[in-house]
A and B are shown apart, each in its own frame.
Chain A
Amino acid sequence: MFVTLPRRSRARTAALLALVLLAASACADDTSTAGSGGTVKIGLLASLSGTYQSVGKDIRDGFQLYLSAHDGKLGGRTVELVVADEGNGAATAVPAATKLLKQDRVVALTGIVGGGSVAAVQPLLTETKVPFVGSNGRPELKDVSRVWHTSYLSDEPGEAIAAHVRADVKGSVYAIGPDYQGGWDELRGFTEAYAAAGGKLANPDGKTTFTPFPATTNFTPYFARIKASGADAVYTFYAGGAAVDFVKQYAQSEIKDVPLYAAGFLTEGGVLDAQGDAARDIYSVLNYSPDLDNAENRAFVAAWKAGHDGSPTTYAMASYDAAAVLDRAIAAAGDDATAEKINAAIGQLGQIASPRGTWQFSPTTHAPVQKWYLRQVRQDGRALSNTVVGDLATVGG
């Protein structure tokens, strides 16, 4: 008893102390979220570790690039940017988002690489009534009232290039992609629009060939089937390590002279360096290319190259745009920029000038209505780069 008694009283003191501290911090919180101090707290959630960390770091850097180009202010208010690690997916994204939304009490959230992470975080957004301006992954969502994306929907790249492939390729096209949600969406976008344009797939059963993901590292057997099908061109979507394997093996395969069309991620960012010469001449469709000729893009690329090796990616561009969206929305929300007011202001933005060209949010999907570009991997100085060779369809909504 003698031993436990002081302990208990010590525990009571500690509890009391904790209470006092909690009350103090709650008071402090109240003053900071009122926003009268002129600062505004934004949360950025992105994969800074794990498989997608190169994408996550581009997203973080793209947002910070916009901030530093605007004196660290959005809508005239000094921004306190709280960065958290999304990790590999929902399991790590949810606790990180919970901290940002409930502990840091940010007025807006941005970033998020994975579509699965976005879906898992959405209930938290509904609960805390905080708007989310996503810059990459976009899953199927029922309620988009607080969700906005500056990226694209997964089936849009294929939809945008299908008519061009139909017109360009005399004969049939073989469709192949990875066997997961992202792959299904990307390929469905192409095959549906291609069929609507009167095209016929070279696949023996008329359906896209899906390869086990991420288990497939050797594509040679699939190339043999493509050869046997007599296809005149191939359409595909792969990203990351699978994109490197696919492209390198394609260039040394029996079908190396068959034109390859792809969603832009096949040759975007770091994977292009890994593919090297094997990627030469591949056609891809994307909403951005660093060589687009407009004032916003020239400023963006110049600022990016000042701090990074190489050109910016579409991931960095989308995050840069997310900052631009918040900049205008916070300014429009006025002095008392609450989460609700910022969300309402995003819906009223209209046209947004961007390095990709001007775009706007679709009122139904809350994703961009934007122009897509046909790019080809070509020599650009000493390095290979995705060079714009033409405009494709404007897709969205």
Chain B
Amino acid sequence: MSGVPVDPYVVPALDGVAYGLLVFVAAAGLVLCFGVAGILNLAHGTLFAIGGYTAAALLDGGWGSLALALVVGVGAATAAGALVALLLTRVGAAGHLNQALLTFGVALAGGSLLVAAFGPDDPPVRVPAALDGSVVVAGHRYAAYRLVFIVLAAVLAGLLHLAVRRTRAGMLVRAAVDDAEMVATLGVSPAVVRVGVLAAAGALAGAAGVLGAPIIGPGPDTADAVLLLSLVVVVLGGLGSMTGTLLAALAVGQIQTLGVALAPSAAPFLLFAAMAVVLAVRARGLATARRAT
């Protein structure tokens, strides 16, 4: 429309924020597990997929169904997270390789179960009718649901920050990372903390799966895609810093949208090129100064 050169990039930039926040909510659970509690949960993408499939099964275009899907999806993913934690009790202390093997097996089995239950096709996801359209933002058409999602995800991110920083549960988790034995002498079992962390991570993944289903729809490949993006974000974010994770997720969102719009021929490797550059320059990720925040 106007001749301003930034004009074609307004929508990709906005979309990058939506995408980045979705990746953040999805990856936050993995950060809790890996960065904060030292558990490598490769079934994390499957927990997201549980939320996504729940959304596809329950959403019928009304607001009530969205609330129901959120409750059921978060509940199911939380339970699945707790189940992973129980499976991990024997190998939990045996190092990351054993954890990776076990949770990867859980991811494979879970993925097959989801396909068996919901079919091999990507099921349709119906967002509330009021949001199933587009709105004009600064002269550009943009999907209404994604705009609302930006707000929802920002609220979730804020709540998560408060929970980790300000609540007793958040403090216990952070304390268990710093010195598990000391926490145990205070009368809190590290095993209980582990179950709690994995359940909370499951809840986050479930919420991301339900709310993000219209953006990254559920399907046989969803679990892998989300796990890969989350791992990239966790590594970029500096393994354990929530602030770093947020920055990394927003950066990944912009790379995946604005980056592709600016340099489409480089699209296949933009993300991993950026990751390689960040790791080469700052081996511990984007946020290195602040640990476990």
Contacts and interface: CB of A to CB of B under 8 A. Distances in A.
Contacts of B140: 254
A224 to B, nearest CB: 5
Contacts of B260: 221-222
Contact of A220 (B7, B126, B221, B257): B257
A64 interface: no
A221 B15 contact: yes
Interface stretch (B75-83, B84-92, B115-123, B189-197): B115-123
Contacts of B199: none
B202 interface: no
A245 interface: yes
Given A218-B19, A220-B12, A225 B121 contact: no
B110 interface: no
Contacts of B9: 224
B267 A214 contact: no
Contacts of A244: 122, 124, 217
- Chain B: number of interface residues, binned into ranges: 35 or more
B120 A53 contact: yes
A380 to B, nearest CB: 18
Contacts of B258: 221
A54 interface: yes
A284 to B, nearest CB: 19
B11 A224 contact: yes
B255 to A, nearest CB: 10
Contact of A256 (B124, B134, B144, B256): B134
Interface string B128-160: 000001100000111111000000000000000
B121 A179 contact: no
Nearest to B7: A228
A394 interface: no
A230 to B, nearest CB: 10
A18 B136 CA distance: 76
Given A212-B268, A217-B225, A254-B141, A228 B8 contact: yes
A224 B221 contact: no
A221 to B, nearest CB: 4
Question: Residue among A217, A223, A249, A276 with the most chain B CB within 10 A?
Answer: A217
Contacts of B256: 218, 221
Contacts of B134: 252-253, 256
Is chain A's interface secondary structure helix, strand, loop, or mixed overall? helix
A216 interface: yes
Contact of B217 (A53, A179, A241): A241
Interface residues of A, number: 37
B220 interface: yes
Contacts of A214: 221
B12 A224 contact: yes
Contacts of B133: 252
B19 A221 contact: no
Question: Residue among B120, B142, B221, B261 with the most chain A CB within 10 A?
Answer: B120
A227 B12 CA distance: 12
Interface stretch (A102-110, A112-120, A140-148, A267-275): A267-275
A85 B256 CA distance: 36
Interface string B195-230: 000000000000000000001110111000100000
B105 interface: no
Nearest to B19: A218
A276 B143 CA distance: 16
Contact of A225 (B144, B216, B264): B264
A163 B188 CA distance: 74
Given A224-B9, A224-B12, A249 B216 contact: no
A221 B141 contact: no
A274 B268 contact: no
A244 B124 CA distance: 8
Interface string A196-207: 000000000000
Nearest to B228: A215
Interface in A239-292: 240-241, 244-245, 249, 252-254, 256, 270-271, 273-276
A222 B141 contact: no
Question: Residue among A51, A216, A244, A254 with the most chain B CB within 10 A?
Answer: A254
A211 B9 CA distance: 18
Contact of B124 (A211, A253, A273): A273
Given A218-B19, A221-B12, A253 B141 contact: yes
Interface string B37-58: 0000000000000000000000
A222 B264 contact: yes
A147 B88 CA distance: 53
A12 B230 CA distance: 58
A245 B124 CA distance: 10
B120 A50 contact: yes
Contacts of B7: 228
A209 interface: yes
B143 A252 contact: yes
A269 B259 CA distance: 33
Contacts of A249: 143
Contacts of B221: 214, 241
Nearest to A252: B143
Closest 8 A/B residue pairs (Cβ): A221-B261, A228-B8, A252-B143, A221-B260, A274-B124, A212-B268, A220-B15, A241-B122
28 contacts: A179-B268, A212-B267, A212-B268, A217-B217, A218-B15, A218-B19, A218-B215, A218-B256, A220-B11, A220-B15, A220-B257, A221-B257, A224-B261, A225-B8, A225-B261, A225-B264, A240-B122, A241-B217, A241-B221, A245-B217, A253-B11, A253-B134, A253-B143, A254-B11, A254-B142, A273-B124, A274-B123, A275-B124
Interface of B: 7-9, 11-12, 15, 19, 120-124, 126, 133-134, 140-145, 215-217, 219-221, 225, 256-261, 264, 267-268
Given A218-B15, A254-B11, A273-B124, 6 more contacts: A51-B120, A211-B264, A220-B11, A220-B257, A240-B122, A276-B126
